[in-house]
Amino acid sequence: MASIRELHEQLVKKERSAVEITQEALERIQALEPKLHSFLHVTAQQALEQASAVDAKIAAGEEIGILAGIPIGIKDNMCTKGIPTTCASQILKNFVPPYESTVTQKLLDSGAVMVGKTNLDEFAMGGSTENSAYYATANPWDLSRVPGGSSGGSAAAVAADECVVAIGSDTGGSIRQPASFCGVVGMKPTYGLVSRYGLVAFASSLDQIGPFGRSVEDTAILLSAIAGHDPKDSTSLKVPIPDYAAGLKPDLRARGRLRIGVIKETFGEGLDSVVEQTVTKAIDQLQSLGAEIHIISCPRFRYGVPSYYIIAPSEASANLARYDGVKYGYRAPDVDNLLSMYTRTRSTGFGTEVKRRIMIGTYALSTGYYDAYYLKAQKVRTLIKQDFEKAFEQVDVLACPTVPTTAFKAGEKNTDPLSMYLLDLMTIPANLAGLPGLSVPCGFDNNGLPIGLQLIGKVLREDQLFQVAYAYEQSTTWHLHQPQIS
């Protein structure tokens, strides 16, 4: 499938119709889903109706926005009015929201065509999309491997050409990690840049919605469409939203002096040798494009994982307390008292990983342990943020691998959750500090699996990340590679 801009030009010139483009995506989904499982719900009827509305506008001579008629996938933890929103959990199996999330409403208003809701790890808790209550998603590059998580369905759908772009959410790397595993571009924006209204909460101080695309430009276009202040979200920032795709240039010298800092703590022990070599070559390429390269230390970077796995489960245990069988969602049958209903509803409605994190969080917040665990983790979070602030006094952008390895085999880490958590080593710190982060494809390993380069920027400098990523992308051919799946 072509890029957003190419499809837009075809629509405006009436070379193709929005219905034709949508049907192509739906046919691709129908052909691939039996083996890929990227989608939990395919909204074919609604998609064709949305596409027809775009065609009607074009026929009437009305101008259309750049996203009008573009097939898009939405992670199934964002509320969509009249369409199931399950969070890949049994406890929300029959939940149909009565309202639209801000992000999906913006996309509907732009004329984008939602082809379906994508699979995820239950309540966005996981790094492989194997924790879905319904089925695991496969990696389009190798169906025996995972696509990453928790936004694995969105990443796989874009990589497999089931949709042009997709929306995911990132709490500790859940956009960037699957983007790396699936060979696509993924962006976690600055905390507060994109409204979280209608996003089913996992860890409220960390969650952020962001875009996936096959190219940097597509990802930038999508972010411009979903970003912006929302009075329904108390954490939403009141800042002007630029056209991130405007003025993207293939030469970094065009923007003046650019300093890129390489985080030294992300290299060495625990990093796959091929990933290290590939990312190092990518950084050398950025230098050849005009960037100054500096080695930077973020000494508390490695403490991101232990602090995150106290803070995130603590917030999750509070957020998931609402799923009790009383208000909405699943309720256990054949119970004879209130306590039994609570217990059986939650024990059967939640999966193993969700229950594990609820228990960790509840323990960390309990009397006598709050200061020892949660409060200390928040102090470490502050120190990590201070390390970033110090680093950004010396450089404009930080660079490191997105993930220490390439995609692993399905089932490989199911019995060792700690090894799964450690894959978030490179991505978690940006969430803790509320910074924007982007993963861009930078090569392949010996098994033909994609490798991602992560760029981390200053608060609200998504434009700078897109510029660096675009210059790198245009100087290589990695973004032109596609998985051979049919």
pLDDT of 312 above 80: yes
What average pLDDT does this structure show over 355-362?
A: 96
pLDDT at 180: 98
pLDDT of 70 above 90: yes
What average pLDDT does this structure show over 340-367?
A: 94
pLDDT at 251: 85
pLDDT at 256: 80
pLDDT at 254: 73
pLDDT at 158: 98
Per the confidence metrics, is the pTM higher than 0.75?
yes
pLDDT at 345: 94
**Residue 229's pLDDT band (boundaries 50, 70, 90)?**
very high
pLDDT at 334: 87
What average pLDDT does this structure show over 316-333?
A: 92
Output the average pLDDT for the chain: 96
pLDDT at 203: 97
- Residue 460 has, within 13 A of its CA and on its CB side, a CA count of 10
**Residue 1's pLDDT band (boundaries 50, 70, 90)?**
confident
pLDDT of 463 above 80: yes
CB–CB of 117/83 below 8 Å?
Answer: yes
What average pLDDT does this structure show over 144-149?
A: 97
Please give the backbone phi and psi of residue 18, each rounded to the nearest 5 degrees, phi first.
Answer: -65, -35
243-290 confidence digits (pLDDT tens)? 999 989 998 987 788 999 999 999 988 999 999 999 999 999 999 999
pLDDT at 486: 78
Burial bucket for residue 240 (CB in 10 Å: 0-12, 13-18, 19+): exposed
Active site residues per annotation: 75, 150, 174
Which string of DSSP letters, residue by residue, matches 4-72? HHHHHHHHHTTSS-HHHHHHHHHHHHHHHHHHH--EEEE-HHHHHHHHHHHHHHHHTT----TTTT-EE
What average pLDDT does this structure show over 324-341?
A: 90
What average pLDDT does this structure show over 210-221?
A: 98
**Residue 36's pLDDT band (boundaries 50, 70, 90)?**
very high
**Residue 416's pLDDT band (boundaries 50, 70, 90)?**
confident
**Residue 399's pLDDT band (boundaries 50, 70, 90)?**
very high
pLDDT at 140: 98
Nearest to 37 by CA among 123, 122, 125, 117: 117
**Residue 26's pLDDT band (boundaries 50, 70, 90)?**
very high
Helix (H) or strand (E) holding 73: strand 71-75
**Residue 88's pLDDT band (boundaries 50, 70, 90)?**
very high
- The percentage of residues in the chain with a pLDDT greater than 90, rounded to a whole number, is 92
pLDDT at 3: 97
What average pLDDT does this structure show over 384-405?
A: 98
pLDDT at 130: 97
Distance in angstroms (rounded) separating the CA atoms of residues 54 and 38: 26
- The percentage of residues in the chain with a pLDDT greater than 70, rounded to a whole number, is 100
Q: Which class is domain 4-250+442-452? A: alpha beta
What average pLDDT does this structure show over 17-38?
A: 98
CB–CB of 424/305 below 8 Å?
Answer: yes
Q: Which two tokens stand for residue 337?
A: 């008292």
pLDDT at 247: 82
**Residue 320's pLDDT band (boundaries 50, 70, 90)?**
very high
Residue 341 DSSP SS3: helix
CB–CB of 171/144 below 8 Å?
Answer: no
